[in-house]
Chain A
Amino acid sequence: MEKKLKKKLRKPVPEKRPVRILKLVLAAGIAASAVLTVYMFYLYTGIEDRFASRKWSIPSTVYSDTTLLYPGKRINKPLFLDKLSRLDYRIVDRAPAAKGEMQLREDSVAIFLNDLKTPQQRRNGFPVIIAYDNQGIRRITRMDTKEDLPLLTLEPENIMLFFGTQREKRQLVSIHDVPQHLVHAVLAAEDQRFFSHHGVDPRGLLRAIWVNLRHGGFVQGGSTLTQQLAKNYFLTPERTLTRKFKELLIALLLEARFQKEEILEIYLNEIYFGQKGSVSINGVGEAASFYFGKPVSALTPAESATLAGLIKGPNRYSPYINRERCRNRRNWVLDSMYDNQWISAAALKKYQAQPVKTSGYRVSGKKAPYFVDYLSEQLTTLYSPGDLESLGLSIYTTLDTQVEIAAEEALEKELTSLEKANPKLRRNDPARKLQGVVVVMQPKTGHILAMVGGRNYTESQFNRAAQASRQPGSLFKPFVALAALDKFTPATILSNAPRTYTVDNKKWEPQNFEPVTEFSVSLRTAIQHSYNRAIVDLAMRTGLNHILDAIKPFGFTTHFKPYPSLALGSFEMIPLELARAYCAFAADGVLPYPLSLKGIMDEKGKILEQHHMNIERAISPEKAFLVTDLLRSVVEGGTAKSLRSKGIWFPVAGKTGTTNDFRDAWFVGYTPDVLALIWVGFDNGDPVYASGGSAALPIWADLIHAIPQYVSDSWFMAPPGVVQKEICRSSGMLAGPECPDIIKEYFLTGNAPLKACTLHATRPFIEGWFKKIEKLVQ
């Protein structure tokens, strides 16, 4: 009996089933809690890293150059008014009374200037009248003191913000600047119980489920603002249970970590409000500007309700797409505001009766995207991407947005026109489309005023202006002429006859672009008409190694070799380097550094970087002047003479370029004030079936017409080492009275002709015989 009892005691007593389950559940719960805690800690650190840093960091802003105005300055009126609009001056129908307002009048514009703050200049805004006529600005008068101003500087234009990996343009607003009715409208539309829940709203969720069940589909979302923010910030847009679970956790953590006002401020600056061309509209600041042309603080309650209504479906409810649908949605938001007692019945009636008025759709892409890319490359050598996103730097550039817009428009217009005229140029694949480059610089300072590295940045981000290597063709010929000026003159006679050269045991015979009968031409004529044979003759007589030495100071990155085809631009070059090199011809032989960045200030206004123009002498001013004068004759009567028929009335130096099989079409034109380089071609080298004169030159003409502020009839002065002589056109020697065709030609003082023409001077010939006879007689 005792044994039996012991045996029984030794046997384990089986647990009751519910206790075991409870233990298992408890263990599982503890394990799950541990995992969840670890996971939430992981999420929390993510939030700290991304959300908090983004919340309190200030993105760096890129600005254009300031705009100098003075009486007598030529302006393109539409582009000028457009500039004011881009500077966020809003039109009012009375005299401007506050900063940022402008009134358009018949022959003037009254502006209450915004404050100006750049590394070099600071001034408070004041009211001013800018009077203009068809010629340009007539007078600038301060409205408060009636004082006439000789100069006026307009503030720089905001180009973009370094905000995340994608550069965006958005106007950040403080929660304190957001009107109460906008907050109410957004809450009414999206999350009425925002201030009562803790990130997740079970009541709202149940209501949404009920509404959706009743309608048999997705009608109402149950996400709170915090959940939406969590989704936008951290998660992908797919609808899965896992993502929803993560969204809930992040929302709870956000609410635990941040104040309601902070969450609301970030939400209002983050939420997507539609599309403006290739740029997305994010945040109420940018949306207020895009849809109503005003700052957030100036929105009316009806406009606030319209914006709030857009959040659910920015493109579906956009007033630019369907005004009626937008109005219905706005009225629904207003109803909801009334239901929440945020507006009165009278206000509801009043606002619902109002039509939806917008400021007018303005398609716009990223501003000067290729220029900004070029700038960014330089900036990243100074600052890390993280610093650019968070330090709140103000980055001032040389960009002139009026020139940039004119360049973009001219390029697109002429490329479209080329495609229209020649179906062979059309491509369905955007990646294979006809492309172009426009680089606009100020020769003296090296400031890059505009840079268009392609036709459409959205389709192709490859910056052909700074990254492409293309054969320059005849654009290289002025550098051959430059090298030749040590030995020869513009009047030197060159052989334009067919000739075969041997290169690496291979025969090479340069051909002229068109058959010509003039087998002897002057250097000037060779450049003027871009005669290949004559230029190769010049190159061979000058010496190919001498040419390579002469172009060294230009700092080209191309590895040239002393082949005769060098003279015809057979080595690939970078468009920006070519533009810069041509600047030396336009700037007394001084090679400027191509400047895009002018200065950087920190958020307290301390200057961190300052970049000035930097010059170095590449060639003598005398040679620069002679090359410029040669290039002026290209426009006056050579391959670029069609510029005159395009209304270019002022003196211009220019050079066309066309490469083998019409793969590249070029034109460079300059005055003392501005230089623009144009390239047209296909990325894959397909032919454009047009010369530089017919494909690239019209773009230059269009561009220059659009920027009259850079046009003057001034020309380069002949420097002291240059003389002008009357010469016989045929012999290139000093003209005598019997020479039938006398021209004036510029020479370097050192190699101006000293001997009189021997072709037409009969008297010396006879006198010579006379002396011989006299000797014989003696």
Chain B
Amino acid sequence: MVWAGIILLASGCGVKRPAPETLPARMHPPQEKQERVQPVIPRIPPQKPVTPPIAVQPPKALPSQEPKPDARMMAAANLVEQGKIYLDGGKPDQAIDVLERALSVYPGNGKTHYYMAEAWVMKKNKRQALEFNRLARMYLSGDDAWRDKVADQQKRIRNLP
């Protein structure tokens, strides 16, 4: 019986501490933040942000969550293709110019960063190549097909003099 009583107490009848009788005085007339119910906090004074923090509402469409291709993405993809052509033609400066444009149209494209790294490899600038490879790795981390390519690129860059 004793055990049953204890179990009963433990499972459903946890007693919370009572709310403090006096809440800190308000300095302003009630506004949005005053309308909120103060939480019952035993050890620290009550606190609340004015509105729910943004984290309650997750970001609308993270690029990593396979966003629907929109006009910007398509334009950026077109520019990346142009950049590739320049790279294939051994023209890294032209490629960088077009890829910069692609980044400004749609900054979240991992492939742009990958090809930017390629262009800097071609220009033998190890530092910039590594920076762009690092960003490509981050943006393409969820893409199985590209992950290995980016890793290979990293090895190539590290081997640069």
Contacts and interface: CB of A to CB of B under 8 A. Distances in A.
The yes or no verdict on A and B being binding partners is yes
Interface of A: 68, 70-73, 119-120, 136, 150-151, 442-445, 447, 493, 514-522, 524-525, 528-529, 587-588, 590, 598, 607, 610, 612-617, 621, 629, 632-633, 636-638, 641, 651, 672-673, 712-720, 724, 729-730, 738, 740-741, 743-746, 759-760, 762-763, 765-767, 770, 773
A717 B27 contact: no
Interface in B74-117: 74-75, 78-79, 93-94, 96-98, 100-101, 103-108
Contact of A520 (B47, B74, B93, B131): B47
Q: Which 5 A-B pairs have the closest CB atoms?
A: A72-B71, A637-B51, A762-B14, A70-B75, A744-B55
Contact of B56 (A73, A638, A744): A744
Given A519-B24, A715-B60, A763-B14, A150 B55 contact: no
Main SS of the interface on chain A?
loop
B103 A444 contact: yes
Nearest to B106: A714
Contacts of B71: 70-73, 136
Contacts of B28: 514-515
B138 A588 contact: yes
Contacts of A136: 71
B51 A612 contact: no
Contacts of B103: 444-445, 613
Given A72-B70, A447-B104, A672-B107, A590 B54 contact: no
A444 B99 CA distance: 12
Contacts of B9: 766
A615 B105 contact: no
Nearest to A153: B101
Interface in B4-28: 6, 9-11, 14-16, 24-28
B156 interface: no
A2 to B, nearest CB: 107
Interface in B30-73: 39-56, 58-65, 67, 70-72
Given A70-B71, A150-B74, A616 B14 contact: no
B39 A740 contact: yes
Contact of B47 (A443, A521, A617, A636): A521
Size bin of chain B's contact surface: 35 or more
Interface of B: 6, 9-11, 14-16, 24-28, 39-56, 58-65, 67, 70-72, 74-75, 78-79, 93-94, 96-98, 100-101, 103-108, 127-128, 131-132, 134-135, 138-139, 141
**Residue of B9, B15, B39, B106 ringed by the most chain A CB atoms within 10 A:** B39
A37 B118 CA distance: 68
B134 A493 contact: no
Contacts of B141: 720
17 contacts: A72-B71, A119-B97, A150-B74, A517-B27, A518-B46, A524-B53, A607-B93, A612-B100, A613-B103, A614-B128, A615-B128, A617-B134, A632-B54, A713-B61, A715-B62, A717-B108, A770-B10
**Residue of A517, A521, A617 ringed by the most chain B CB atoms within 10 A:** A517
Contacts of B6: 770, 773
A617 B131 contact: yes
A765 to B, nearest CB: 7
A607 B39 CA distance: 66
A637 B36 CA distance: 14
A766 B15 CA distance: 10
A131 B71 CA distance: 15
A724 B55 contact: yes
A217 B135 CA distance: 77
Contacts of B106: 714
A740 B42 CA distance: 13
B93 to A, nearest CB: 6
B156 to A, nearest CB: 19
B135 A729 contact: no
A638 B55 contact: no
A447 B107 CA distance: 13
Nearest to B32: A637
B54 A636 contact: yes
Given A120-B98, A717-B64, 16 more contacts: A68-B101, A68-B105, A70-B75, A442-B104, A444-B104, A517-B25, A522-B49, A612-B96, A633-B49, A672-B108, A714-B67, A714-B106, A717-B139, A743-B52, A766-B9, A766-B10
